[in-house]
Amino acid sequence: MAKKITLPLTDTDIEQLKAGDSVLISGSMLTGRDAAHKRLFELIEKGQPLPVDITGELIYYVGPAPAKPGHAVGPAGPTSSYRMDKYAPALLDRGLRGMIGKGARNQDVIDSMIKNGCVYFAAIGGAAALISHSIKKIEVLAYEDLGTEAIYRFYVEDFPAIVAIDSKGNSVLAKGNKNQ
């Protein structure tokens, strides 16, 4: 049975999540892909403020398709997370609490997750249309010029995901996983 989680994530929420847990996430989350992450990272390197406050946030690696009439968004499946690995530790150090994507993360990201008490969820690739039904409302927050790669705020209800890597570094994606 899936655990229901309401955003924002609390320390207790994160501590109680274990690799392999099925979850249904409700609340609001940020979105962003490669281009937006690159811009955020460049601002961090320059010591400049970010266009959105990422403190306490969860970010979904997605580039949503345009919405059909009557829907908040079109298909919205996860992007391969490794493409954000270069940028993730800097964002986690700035207060990001979790990420949603697909696929494995590198050791630098996992180490940063452990250091910062964060969690990584996997959304099911190929289920973009199904996932889009859990997205009730969206708004562009930054980098509108990037189109689908802009930073959005998604308001979701029962967004399906799996805890892929928990805050202790346990992973359902790694060979020799302690939880298997």
**Position 171 in a domain:** no
10-34 pLDDT, tens digit each: 999 999 999 999 999 999 999 999 9
Domain hosting 147: range is 3-165
Mean pLDDT (whole number) for 2-17: 96
**Position 180 in a domain:** no
**Position 175 in a domain:** no
**Position 178 in a domain:** no
The pLDDT, as a whole number, for residue 180 is 36
125-179 pLDDT, tens digit each: 778 888 999 999 999 999 999 999 999 999 999 999 999 999 999 999 875 444 4
CA distance 163 to 17: 7
Mean pLDDT (whole number) for 26-55: 97
Number of domains the chain is built from: 1
CATH number at residue 99: 3.20.130.10
**Position 172 in a domain:** no
- Evaluate whether 77 touches 127 at the Cβ level (below 8 Å): yes
**Position 179 in a domain:** no
